[in-house]
Amino acid sequence: MRYINRDIIVETVERLCIEANYNIEDDVMEALNNSLRNEISPTGKDVLSQIIENDLIARNDSVPMCQDTGVVIVFLEIGNDVHIDYDIYEAINEGVRNGYNHGYLRKSVVRHPLDRVNTKDNTPAVIHTKLISGDKINLLIAAKGAGSENMSLVKMLTPAEGIEGVKDLVIDTVFNAKGKPCPPIIVGLGLGGTFEKSALLAKEAVMRPINDQSPDPIARKLEKDLLEEINKLGVGPLGFGGTQTALAVKVNVYPCHIASLPVAINIQCHASRHKKITI
């Protein structure tokens, strides 16, 4: 049994909140550079060049990549040989509070969806917890902005609509979103489970490495097909037209009821702000 001190959780979350907003992941930067090379539209190339320049300025000058520094999403995996004697959720929220204060990050969370009073410290975070084997804690911290999140959806299709129904829904969603989610985007697709499980699958999907592929052959082909179709839509970088509307499509699947086909689409902006660490 391994004890992990509360201060370690607080300090790690604080650091990751700041790093996620300041430092773009290397695989995302590589994907943006590939998009710049592949973009046909002169306007699209100019937009991508400015996006890349912005990300480098943020990294070099330690400033946020975007004014919307997001709601903090936490994927927390706790080993069954880890001992904690404190409220780990409160420790995480203290880390978020410290990170957004010390990192001078915009506080975007309101205490209630209808009275809209700002909590003034960007808490609470949205925390998803999973128990795993071992004596370590895995933390994935993401800053999810509203521009991309607002273009996401969950829809219960019928099994008869099948894969073509899924494709049509994704293509229509991306096309109708236009430039609002700040393309080139990452599309996370959750298929199966139930209403709420599909949404979690989609959120997990957008956190996957840019260059990985689904181990499931059907999902893997769907990722490839959808990426090709999305990049034919002409939406382009930031919606100004072009061939690079998406950097990647990620599909996660789960068993479901014989009478349902849950589909969740979670859209991620070009910054894809997240950091992962093992404690």
Distances (CA, A) of 168 to 84, 173, 236, 253, 263: 47, 8, 19, 18, 12
Q: CA 232: distance to chain centroid?
A: 23
Specify the pLDDT at position 249: 98
- What's the whole-number mean pLDDT along residues 202-209? 98
- What's the whole-number mean pLDDT along residues 231-247? 98
- Tokens, residue 204: 């997990």
- What's the whole-number mean pLDDT along residues 183-187? 98
Q: How far apart are CA 78 and CA 114, in angstroms?
A: 34
Q: What pLDDT, in 10s, does the model give residues 214-226?
A: 999 999 999 999 9
Specify the pLDDT at position 212: 96
- Tokens, residue 248: 């990647």
Specify the pLDDT at position 145: 96
**Helix or strand run (H / E) with residue 267:** strand 261-268
Specify the pLDDT at position 191: 98
Specify the pLDDT at position 109: 98
Q: How far apart are CA 251 and CA 220, in angstroms?
A: 7
Q: What is the pTM of this model?
A: 0.96
Q: Where does the pLDDT of residue 159 fall: very low under 50, low under 70, confident under 90, or very high at 90 and above?
A: very high
Q: Where does the pLDDT of residue 49 fall: very low under 50, low under 70, confident under 90, or very high at 90 and above?
A: very high
